[in-house]
């Protein structure tokens, strides 16, 4: 009877214990995707690291990872490699030009931390890096879905302004905290960062900014 049930569409019914629709946005949606698509998040993270090897492609690789996470957040499914490459290639030069300042400054601050160069300049750079991290979250989560009448440069400037004026930026605190933990405990958490780190940060950023997934 199970075979005939599947032929009549029974395969689309909720599984045991599922009696309501899944959450559609926010951190509940993040948890739903994290639990049900853990393997895809790992594969997306490994793709991100692979495409970062030329270094200059880091911003475009972040956009590819954002595209995969965006598809999972919106529809609960994705074509992993196809979606990653689509996000990677679309507006490649604009993404690289506008995204590289984030990566250089934040990456430089992390290297100063690892090298234990804790001067006054480092602490100033750390504060600036926190702000740049928040603006980078807004920029990279929105770059793949900008409207036709909006340019990447306008989104770049708008990301800076939104992080100065909107209290909703505080919702990004969990993503910033996780990034800080990966930096502070970079030795013990390195395996987690390699396997899942950036996928986790990007997915939490998208949960914090549901408007970017519309």
Q: What is the pLDDT of residue 146?
A: 83
pLDDT in tens, 125-147: 999 999 999 999 999 999 988 87
Q: What is the pLDDT of residue 18?
A: 52
pLDDT in tens, 171-185: 899 999 999 999 999
pTM of the entire predicted model: 0.87
Q: What is the mean pLDDT of the chain?
A: 88
Question: Does 5 fall in a domain?
Answer: no
pLDDT in tens, 4-56: 444 444 444 544 445 678 888 899 999 999 999 999 999 999 999 999 999 99
pLDDT in tens, 83-103: 999 999 989 999 999 999 999
* Distance in angstroms (rounded) separating the CA atoms of residues 163 and 92: 24
pLDDT band at 212; cut points 50, 70, 90: low
Question: Does 178 fall in a domain?
Answer: yes
Q: What is the pLDDT of residue 155?
A: 92
Look up residue 96 and give its two tokens. 């690289």
Question: Does 7 fall in a domain?
Answer: no
Q: What is the pLDDT of residue 22?
A: 83
* Distance in angstroms (rounded) separating the CA atoms of residues 40 and 16: 23
Domain span including residue 60: 24-213
Domains identified in the chain, total number: 1
Q: How far from chain centre, in Å, is Cα 107?
A: 16
Question: Does 13 fall in a domain?
Answer: no
Q: How many CA atoms lie within 13 A of 163 on its CB side?
A: 20
Look up residue 169 and give its two tokens. 């930026």
Q: What is the pLDDT of residue 192?
A: 96
Question: Does 135 fall in a domain?
Answer: yes
Look up residue 63 and give its two tokens. 């956009």
Question: Does 170 fall in a domain?
Answer: yes
Q: What is the pLDDT of residue 15?
A: 47
Q: 209 near 172, Cβ under 8 Å?
A: yes
């Amino acid at each position: 009877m199970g075979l005939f049930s599947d032929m009549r569409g029974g395969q689309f019914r909720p599984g045991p214990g599922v009696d309501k629709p899944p959450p559609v946005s926010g951190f509940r949606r993040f948890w739903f995707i994290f639990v049900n698509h853990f393997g895809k998040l790992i594969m997306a993270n490994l793709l991100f690291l692979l495409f970062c090897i030329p270094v200059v492609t880091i911003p475009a690789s972040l956009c590819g990872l954002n595209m995969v996470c965006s598809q999972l957040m919106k529809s609960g499914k994705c074509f992993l490699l196809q979606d990653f490459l689509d996000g990677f290639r679309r507006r490649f030069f604009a993404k690289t030009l506008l995204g590289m300042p984030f990566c250089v400054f934040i990456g430089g601050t992390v290297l100063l931390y690892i090298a234990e160069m804790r001067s006054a300049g480092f602490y100033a750079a750390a504060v600036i890096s926190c702000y740049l991290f928040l603006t980078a979250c807004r920029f990279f989560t929105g770059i793949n879905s900008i409207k036709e009448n909006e340019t990447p440069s306008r989104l770049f400037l708008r990301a800076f302004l939104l992080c100065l004026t909107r209290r909703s930026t505080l919702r990004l605190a969990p993503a910033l905290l996780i990034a800080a933990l990966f930096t502070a405990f970079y030795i013990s958490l390195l395996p987690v960062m390699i396997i899942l780190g950036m996928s986790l940060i990007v997915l939490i950023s998208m949960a914090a900014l549901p408007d970017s997934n519309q």
